[in-house]
């Protein structure tokens, strides 16, 4: 029992990179490779049924649910909530060490208040608020060290919802609100001083390459939000980030120029940037001329795998359109793409070189059924990758939308969607979910765990060959990572929309899960399932471990 994990650890060490966490959970995606995988195996397939709750923490801030990923470093757990509050807790007991209360502006928040996590680096907890401030809070005392305004929410209609990413001496922050008329960007700030180091606009300005893909002045209001968290490969010194859809979402007539390669660059693309300068190294546009709100904003999972007999540095990325893309992360070269949803009707598929064919687009005046819906083939809740099984785990959702295009004029900062949506069931049955295991390179589905509502919480894979997540009914559960068999579950009292983590302290492994139902996608539930209208909100962290003395 002791030798086996060590052997596996050695196998892992021979790989060029290691995306596993161990005692701590340092980054939003576990490590900068975004695997959401921990090598910890004290809790495993044979003893997971013995898990017990050891402490719980109520944040008191249940607006829009608890959507965060906790960060755990050196025995302290840091947790943010939707209204930009931060808590530092003793990771063994849940005792409150400090709380940072952000003074909230009493104004409308575009798309509602949401926060998906903080970052920790340089001695600071980095909080990006929904009104576009980046704040450095002393990691030990909870005192503010610096704050800088990255935009004016009331003017741009944009917010920050994603967790920042610490990269060397900087912290990189994306922006949300790509459905509002504004021009998206990614900003890097020096940890030490709060000064802006660089800003990458996701829409090239006049004179820059790619600008020609925008018609007239449409580039000024073209969206391209960077609303989730990217990844970093220290060996290549490249930052990878997903860029959202172009605005107006459902109507490309006023923005698509037909000039140059691609359409409305660099929206609906994955970009690779030099970490020091923010200069574009390569891009891959997944959905050129996106008219379905199929952002490319989700996590970039960095793995090294064999492709046709050759070890390659890869980036695996799930797009909202329900397809996963496999790219060479050195060059951006397209390697493979495959659907993760069963219901996809907006295209007849991908060509060998990654181009979508047989597109069906929304039209004005007549609703058309599209699968997936603008919620995507998965929502923003993140995938996990286990180097032990070699599988990528996806929380896939099967929900469609009746979409109608509307010709709309942009007004800076105002909603600029150019369409109306009604979320509906797929043609062949009720909306539902399946948590799947894939060979990440070939896209071959290994097993599938079905679920009656939508799974909207991130996944966590561990060295104990477990996959953890929670469901909207409040159950936190563990699956066998090799077979998808459900091994254990616990009712936490409210639905799950956040991201679980695991850590080790004084020889004991803990698994922490945020629960608290809410968010935009949760708001659409009652229309699909009337009985879910009674699901209560909440905002708590529940932490589990094996009983003392059990190993």
Partner 1 sequence: MTRLSVLFLLPVLACAQDMIGRGADVFGKSCATGYCHGAKGGSGSTAPRLAARGFSEEYILQTISRGIPGTAMPAFGSVLPREELVAVIAYVDSLNGITPRNPAPEAEPEKKLPPEAARGRELFFDSLRGFGRCSTCHQVDGFGVPVASPIAIIPADAAALRRLATPHVETATVAGESFPALVVSQGKNQTKLYDLTAPPPVLRTLAPASVTLKQASDWQHARVLSTYSDAELQAILAYVRTAVAP
148 forms part of the interface with partner 1 (CB under 8 A):
yes
CA 479 to chain centre: 21
Q: How far is the CB of 191 from partner 1 (least distance, A)?
A: 12
Q: Identify which range of 1-9, 38-46, 152-160, 334-342 contacts partner 1 by CB under 8 A.
A: 152-160
Note whether 380 and 394 are within 8 A (CB).
no
With 0-12 / 13-18 / 19 or more C-beta atoms within 10 angstroms meaning exposed / middle / buried, residue 353 is exposed
Least distance between partner 1 and beta carbon 130 (Å) = 10
Rounded to whole angstroms, what are the CA distances from 172 to 167, 277, 301? Answer: 7, 12, 17
Q: Which of 421, 451, 468, 535 binds partner 1 (CB under 8 A)?
A: 421
So which residues are the catalytic ones? 293
Nearer to partner 1, 360 or 520 (CB): 520
| Interaction of residue 363 with partner 1, rule CB under 8 A | no
**Site string (285-304) toward partner 1, x via CB under 8 A:** --------x-----------
For 476, counting Cβ atoms within 10 Å of its Cβ (0-12 exposed, 13-18 middle, 19+ buried), the class is buried
Beta bridge partners of 325: 317, 337
Nearer to partner 1, 417 or 504 (CB): 417
366 binds partner 1 (CB under 8 A): no
Least distance from partner 1 to the Cβ atom of residue 528, Å? 9
CA angle 112, 113, 116 (to 5 degrees): 120
**Smallest gap from residue 94 Cβ to partner 1 (A):** 28
C-alpha span between 46 and 48 (Å, rounded): 6
List the x/- string, 314-343, binding to partner 1 by CB under 8 A. ------------------------------
Q: How far apart are CA 387 and CA 8, in angstroms?
A: 9
Supply the minimum distance, in Å, between the C-beta of residue 360 and partner 1: 19
Q: How far is the CB of 166 from partner 1 (least distance, A)?
A: 17
The pairing of beta strand 384-385 with beta strand 368-370: unpaired
Q: Work out the angle at residue 285's Cα, subtended by the Cα atoms of residues 421 and 317, and round it to the nearest 5 degrees.
A: 80
Q: Which of 184, 132, 176 has the alpha carbon at shortest distance from 153?
A: 132
The radius of gyration of the chain from alpha carbons, rounded to an integer in Å, stands at 22
182 vs 305, beta carbon nearer partner 1: 182
User: Rounded CA gap, 135 and 146, in Å?
Assistant: 6
Picking from 237, 198, 482, 443, the residue whose alpha carbon sits closest to that of residue 340 is 443
Query: Judged by CB under 8 A, does residue 310 bind partner 1?
Result: no
Q: Using CB under 8 A, which of 155, 348, 442, 485 touches partner 1?
A: 155
| Using rule CB under 8 A, residue 480 touches partner 1 | no
| Cβ at position 84, least distance to partner 1 in Å | 11
Give the DSSP H or E segment for 214.
none
Three-class DSSP category at 523: helix
Say how many C-beta atoms besides its own lie within 10 A of residue 177's C-beta: 28
Q: Is 406 in the site for partner 1 (CB under 8 A)?
A: yes
Sole window of 188-196, 265-273, 283-291, 294-302 interacting with partner 1 (rule: CB under 8 A): 188-196
Q: Considering beta carbons, is residue 19 or 401 the nearer one to partner 1? A: 401
Q: Determine which residue in the list 168, 211, 215, 220 makes contact with partner 1, applying CB under 8 A.
A: 220
Binding site for partner 1 (CB under 8 A): 63, 83, 104, 106-113, 143-152, 154-156, 179, 182-183, 193-196, 199, 205, 220, 249, 293, 374, 404, 406, 408, 411-412, 414-415, 417-424, 520-521, 523-524, 526-527
């Amino acid at each position: 029992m002791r030798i086996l994990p060590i052997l596996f650890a050695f196998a892992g060490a021979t790989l060029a990179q290691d995306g596993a966490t161990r005692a701590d959970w340092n980054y939003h995606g576990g490590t900068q490779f975004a695997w959401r995988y921990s090598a910890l195996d004290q809790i495993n397939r044979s003893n997971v049924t013995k898990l017990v709750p050891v402490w719980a923490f109520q944040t008191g801030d249940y607006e829009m649910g608890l959507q965060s990923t906790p960060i755990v470093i050196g025995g302290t757990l840091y947790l943010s909530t939707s209204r930009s509050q931060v808590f530092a807790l003793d990771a063994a007991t849940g005792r409150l060490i400090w709380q940072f209360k952000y003074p909230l502006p009493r104004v409308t928040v575009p798309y509602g208040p949401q926060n998906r996590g903080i970052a920790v680096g340089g001695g600071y907890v980095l909080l990006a608020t929904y009104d576009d401030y980046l704040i450095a809070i002393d990691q030990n005392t909870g005192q503010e060290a610096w704050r800088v305004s990255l935009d004016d929410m009331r003017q741009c209609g944009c917010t920050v919802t994603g967790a920042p990413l610490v990269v060397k001496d900087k912290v990189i922050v994306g922006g949300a609100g790509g459905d509002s008329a504004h021009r998206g960007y990614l900003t890097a700030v020096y940890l030490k001083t709060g000064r802006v180091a660089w800003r990458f606009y996701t829409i090239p300005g006049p004179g820059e390459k790619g600008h020609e893909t925008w018609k007239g002045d449409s580039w000024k209001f073209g969206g391209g939000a960077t609303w989730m968290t990217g990844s970093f490969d220290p060996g290549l010194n490249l930052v990878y980030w997903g860029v959202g859809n172009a605005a107006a979402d459902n109507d490309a007539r006023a923005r698509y120029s037909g000039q140059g390669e691609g359409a409305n660059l660099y929206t609906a693309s994955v970009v690779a940037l030099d970490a020091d300068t923010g200069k574009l190294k390569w891009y891959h546009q997944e959905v050129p001329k996106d008219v379905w709100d199929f952002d490319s904003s989700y996590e970039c999972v960095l793995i090294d795998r064999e492709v046709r007999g050759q070890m390659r540095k890869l980036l695996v990325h799930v797009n909202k359109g329900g397809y996963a893309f496999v790219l060479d992360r050195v060059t951006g070269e397209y390697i493979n793409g495959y659907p993760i949803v069963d219901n996809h009707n907006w295209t007849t598929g991908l060509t060998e070189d990654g181009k979508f064919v047989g597109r069906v687009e929304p039209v004005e005046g007549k609703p058309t059924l599209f699968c997936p819906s603008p919620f995507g083939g998965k929502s923003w809740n993140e995938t996990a990758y286990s180097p032990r099984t070699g599988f990528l785990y996806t929380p896939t959702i099967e929900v469609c939308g009746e979409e109608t295009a509307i010709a709309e004029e942009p007004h800076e900062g105002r909603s600029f969607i150019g369409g109306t949506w009604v979320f509906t069931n797929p043609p062949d049955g009720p909306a539902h979910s399946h948590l799947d295991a894939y060979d990440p390179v070939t896209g071959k589905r290994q097993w599938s765990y079905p679920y009656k509502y939508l799974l909207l919480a991130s996944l966590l894979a561990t060295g104990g060959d477990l996959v953890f997540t929670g469901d909207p009914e409040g159950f936190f559960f563990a699956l066998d990572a090799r077979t998808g068999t459900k091994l254990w579950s616990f009712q936490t009292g409210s639905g799950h929309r956040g991201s679980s983590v695991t850590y080790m302290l004084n020889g004991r492994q803990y698994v922490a899960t945020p629960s608290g139902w809410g968010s935009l996608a949760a708001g659409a539930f009652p229309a699909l399932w009337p009985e879910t209208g009674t699901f209560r909100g909440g905002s708590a962290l529940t932490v589990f471990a094996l009983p003392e003395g059990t190993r």
